Amino acid sequence: MGRPFELVIVGGGTAGWMCAAACAAKLVPAGVRVRLVESEEIGTVGVGEATLPQMKDFNDFLGLDEVEFMKATQASFKLGIEFVNWGRDGQRYIHPFGTYGRPVGEADFFSYWIRARRAGVAARLDDYCFPIVTAWQNRFMLPNGDPNDVRNAFAYAYHLDAFLYARYLRGWSETRGIERVEGRIVEVERDGESGAIAAVKLASGERVAGDFFIDCSGFRSLLLGSMLGVELEDWSHWLPCDSAQAVPCARSQDFTPYTRSTRRKAGWQWRIPLQHRTGNGYVYSSAHVSDDEAAATLLANLDGEALAEPRVLRFKAGKRRLAWSHNCIGMGLAGGFLEPLESTSIYLVQMAIMHMLTLLPSGEGIDPALPAEFNRVMDVEYDRIRDFLILHYIANEADAPLWEHVTAVDLPDTLKGKIERFRHRGHVQAYRDGLFGPPSWQAVFVGQGIEPLAADRLADVLPGDLLAQRLEALAATITRGAGSAPSHADFVARYCPAPAL
Amino acid sequence: MSGPIERVAVYGGGIAAPMAALAVARAYGRLGTQVTWVDTGEAPPPYAALVALPDLAAFHRLLGIGDAALIEAASATLNMGQQFVGWSGGDAAFLHAYGDAGTPFASLPLVQHWTRARQAGLRVALEDFCLAAAAAKQGRIGELRDPATRQAVKHGWHLDATSYAALLRAACERAGVTIVQGNGAQPHAASGKLDRIVLADGAAVTADLFVDADGALTGLLDPGGAAEGDGFCDRIIRGSAAGLDPLPLYSRVTAHEAGWVTLIPLGDRLAVEIVYDSRRMPDDAARAVMEQVAGRRMEAGAAEALSATVRSRPWVANCIPIGRAAGDAPLLDGAELLLLQLAVAQLVLLWPIDRYTMPESDIYNEELSGSHARVRDFAAQHFRLNGRDGEPFWDAARAAPISAELASKIDLFAARGMFAHFNYEAHVEDGWALCMTGHGVLPRSFDPQALLVDDQALMAEFQRQLRAIAAEVRGMETHAEALTRIRSGAT
């Protein structure tokens, strides 16, 4: 090979710097030149402050030190998401990062739970899940490493300040060979013949050319959307929320090891506890509530003093028809947007990065099988998350216009029939790839009031009194285990105390 | 109205009917479900042998079929893979072993490093980095503790079809299955569902659920539901020759000008079958090819027709087809038993809650159609990738249409040595890698992260893996030793 392959990342938000960091770890040492163009004039969105457990894999993949990373990003731990008023007002459940129960007999645990529930001898599903019971007591511990212990049957994620995460990764990446180019992009140059992106030109007149471009420019989708004309596949008929207002408030005593999502009249409100403050936001449908009213609702529902004015964001649910077109991949908001109801934004960036690393072309010309595969797997990721989000919306009482609207829409084919199958026998299809696994579907179905009418008949083989005994013993073990964990606040204060900002 | 399934009728013969009856009786007999097998008397074809993949071993535990009994009663031998000979023309051969295509290195599948090294002139085949393949070719087998290769060695079985059917039948009797003589039985449907099967003596078998291993029940409910797929070959002759010594640990599939010959080593004989296109090869010529490939005298049965039907909606109303009744299986890669096992497993998993409404059928049909499609893809790769240029049968096979999923798989592997995964995959990606590289596909590029390893370190790792494989194979037992040990009940 002659000159090195040149990769240019456009945009330096969370997506841009995550991508840069991965390149620093895996491509720069393999001889690829990587530059990141960003402008300090342009702000980043940075709402994705709650994450999924896969983020730990990403940090491990980079080789980040967990304690250092958590201190640098004011991070706290997350065992799941609490959904309040979903299904109907007054209800609450946690979608945990873990499974329910443990093996009871030859059928799966959930089938036994259904049977016991129908017989009136089961506690609520949450009581058989260690991370949920622990979370509700505001306690936290790391998995204890013993495969036979309920205190190992979970994973955890983080709440973090995405802006600080980007800044942390920037420092990390710049010492590992990523060249940062400061400047506002004023023009994108395309190759006349192939249509590929040739270079971006900055306000300073500087021209940054490359073989391959990663578009991390946010909602503007500067390269993929604006320049290459890849349209957004509009999903707003299923997910009509198109606005959000975000506001931080002072940290409260209630330092939860979980994100909270509270259903509201025209959307839902998030609450994300960080070490230095609590992040809040109201995601809503502008057709169903005014901005002013949304702001008032948000500010009236904080558990600490507001630290800023609410900031308004506009978006549309959907994904770019192609995540990779020509010599350009769109990541993060440049590639698509799904509301943060299940904290999937950073996960989607992470998946795009991991697939990009393995599918990146190596020289001149792009083998069409590479973008075909990238686009196929990203479509799977987006479609699966979309369906799971829609499930949250449709499994609800239609008690306000937005909720009437969403429960009346025609579902994607991939979601049709799933509710009936679950109700009939607790059936959930296990996917080969992508989010979310059966325990997640079980959590949302049951949590929002859709309970199976019958269980797998294999669960009938175990004598009823034995089943009741085993379930009771399991719940007791979990309660005991949860009680042995320190409080989340103490754990964080000892493990990864962040400096005051 | 609702109520559990109380009575089940399994209709058919061969392997499929007793396997389904046994699985259902063992799973649900404990809950009082009564299983009646209406035995149509259809026996496996004379001389037939079966290739069972490693997954069948786990399934046998659920069925209560012991390994020692297979060796004693079904002439079983151990199966570590299937060898393809002459599919690229000439005598070139590769082994689709049921194992790992090398040990992952530096967080990447070995095939990525291998591709890079091949482009730089390495001549070692990917198969040589597969412990199971190396062991099988040297007639050795055995599970090692903490192997330096970190590779697993799994095995399936080669089975004599007739005696395996008898074994399943005996197990059915022990499991409380009622077996009735079903020669000349007549199924009856009423208002879109099966009602009863009337036996030759006039007695009627009624049931809440009918499992169809024959095809007649499904055909009665859904006469237009079977479409004819592309099977390339339309005829098969099965035969038998004197057994091989030493016993190979794999079956061999040798291409000929208009099809292929499969040799399956059994404990007491060598099963031989030729599959061919009768428009291009007369029966007599096929017999000659069969004997020539087997390299020994043999006896053989009559030529039989092959079909390749596909059912997109197998489970209709209260009738669940399994095995051939749900659609024909390809005759390669152990597909027949694999698809039967998948169908029976789904039947047990999706056992209807309510005998009056069975929405489980939609799930079963999705699962089974998906599995059939992916298994057909695995077989179809051998035809699409064949290298017998200039032979009309093989040129046509290469040009035949393939599914979009298989096209994606081949394109991506050829481009980057990676795998496009879909739902319902039945074969692991290392199996695909061994087959595709065996057919001569060398990926055009590799994961750029492979360049994080320098040339010297990579060569050292290759040598380490090859040495570890050689050492581990030396520590294994022979096929005969393994059979004796298993037969004695030792583990």
Average pLDDT over residues B26-30: 96
Which residue, among B24, B85, B251, B45, has the nearest Cα to B156 in the 3D structure?
B251
Residue A275 has pLDDT above 70, yes or no: yes
CA distances from B241 to B46, B47, B295 (A): 13, 10, 9
Contacts of B414 in chain A (CB under 8 A): 369
Distance from CA of B103 to the nearest CA of A (A): 18
Is B353–A425 a contact, with Cβ atoms under 8 angstroms apart? yes
B477 and B135 in contact (C-beta within 8 Å)? Answer: no
A-B contacts (CB, under 8 Å): 85
Residue A352 has pLDDT above 60, yes or no: yes
Average pLDDT over residues A379-408: 95
Q: What is the pLDDT of residues A237-248, one digit of tens each?
A: 999 999 999 999
Length of chain A: 501
B1 and B356 in contact (C-beta within 8 Å)? Answer: yes
Is A458–B416 a contact, with Cβ atoms under 8 angstroms apart? no
Write out the catalytic residue numbers of A. 78
Percent of chain A with pLDDT over 70: 98
Regarding the domain delimited by A6-45+161-235+318-383, which CATH topology (the fold level of the hierarchy) does it fall under? Answer: FAD/NAD(P)-binding domain (3.50.50)
Mean of the per-residue pLDDT values for chain B? 96
Mean of the per-residue pLDDT values for chain A? 95
Residues 6+ apart with CB under 8 A from B378: B330, B333, B335, B426, B427, B431, B432, B435
A197 and A189 in contact (C-beta within 8 Å)? Answer: yes
Q: What is the pLDDT of residues A359-385, one digit of tens each?
A: 999 877 899 999 999 999 999 999 999
Confidence of residue A430 (pLDDT cuts 50, 70, 90): confident
Q: Render B56-76 in DSSP notation, one character per residue.
A: HHHHHHHHT--HHHHHHHH--
Q: What is the pLDDT of residues A197-252, one digit of tens each?
A: 999 999 999 999 999 999 999 999 999 999 999 999 999 999 999 999 999 999 99
Distance from CA of A354 to the nearest CA of B (A): 11
Residue A46 has pLDDT above 60, yes or no: no
Confidence of residue A102 (pLDDT cuts 50, 70, 90): confident
Q: What is the pLDDT of residues B407-435, one digit of tens each?
A: 999 999 999 999 999 999 999 999 999 99
Is B418–A361 a contact, with Cβ atoms under 8 angstroms apart? no
Q: What is the pLDDT of residues A308-339, one digit of tens each?
A: 999 999 999 999 999 999 999 999 999 999 99
Contacts of B450 in chain A (CB under 8 A): 30
**How many Cα atoms sit within 13 Å of A201 on the Cβ side?**
7
Can you give the pLDDT at residue A1?
Answer: 47
**Quick check: helix, strand or coil at residue B235?**
strand
Helix intervals (H) in B331-452 = 335-349, 360-384, 392-399, 404-416, 429-438
A277 and A249 in contact (C-beta within 8 Å)? Answer: yes
Q: What is the pLDDT of residues B282-310, one digit of tens each?
A: 999 999 999 999 999 999 999 999 999 99
Average pLDDT over residues B55-71: 93
What is the chain B residue with the closest CA to A5?
Answer: B448
Contacts of A421 in chain B (CB under 8 A): 359, 362-363
Shortest CB distance from A457 goes to which of B28, B359, B408? B28
CA angle A385, A387, A393 (to 5 degrees): 110
Is A369–B415 a contact, with Cβ atoms under 8 angstroms apart? yes
Shortest CB distance from B359 goes to which of A360, A424, A460? A424
Q: What is the pLDDT of residues B334-372, one digit of tens each?
A: 999 999 999 999 999 999 999 999 999 999 999 999 999
Residue A48 has pLDDT above 70, yes or no: no
Confidence of residue B489 (pLDDT cuts 50, 70, 90): confident
Is B421–A433 a contact, with Cβ atoms under 8 angstroms apart? yes
Which residue, among B79, B172, B95, has the nearest Cα to B437 in the 3D structure?
B95
At A472, phi and psi to the nearest 5?
Answer: -65, -45
Is B445–A432 a contact, with Cβ atoms under 8 angstroms apart? no
Which residue, among A363, A370, A7, A27, has the nearest Cα to B119 in the 3D structure?
A363
Can you give the pLDDT at residue A41?
Answer: 79
Contacts of B116 in chain A (CB under 8 A): none
Shortest CB distance from A362 goes to which of B353, B421, B445? B445
Average pLDDT over residues B368-384: 97
Residue B490 has pLDDT above 70, yes or no: no
Q: What is the pLDDT of residues B167-204, one digit of tens each?
A: 999 999 999 999 999 999 999 999 999 999 999 999 99
Q: Could you give the CA distance from residue B428 to residue B422 in angstroms, rounded to a whole number?
A: 11
Residue A258 has pLDDT above 70, yes or no: yes
Length of chain B: 491
Q: What is the pLDDT of residues A61-74, one digit of tens each?
A: 999 999 999 999 99
| Mutation site for B-interface testing, chosen from A60, A374, A427, A433 by largest number of B Cβ within 10 Å | A427
Q: What residue segments make up the domains of chain A, in order of their start?
A: 6-45+161-235+318-383, 243-314
Contacts of B348 in chain A (CB under 8 A): 458
Can you give the pLDDT at residue B43?
Answer: 95
The whole-angstrom distance between residue B354's C-alpha and the CA centroid of its chain comes to: 32
ipTM score: 0.95
Q: Render A294-347 in DSSP notation, one character per residue.
A: HHHHHHHT-SS-B-S--EEEE---EEES-SEETTEEE-GGGTEE--GGG--HHH
Can you give the pLDDT at residue B491?
Answer: 56
Q: Could you give the CA distance from residue B343 to residue B323 in angstroms, rounded to a whole number?
A: 7
Average pLDDT over residues B470-484: 96
Can you give the pLDDT at residue A45?
Answer: 58
CA angle B336, B339, B344 (to 5 degrees): 120
Confidence of residue A434 (pLDDT cuts 50, 70, 90): confident
Which domains are present in chain B?
A: 7-77+159-229+308-374 (3.50.50.60), 82-147+380-477 (no CATH), 235-305 (3.30.70)
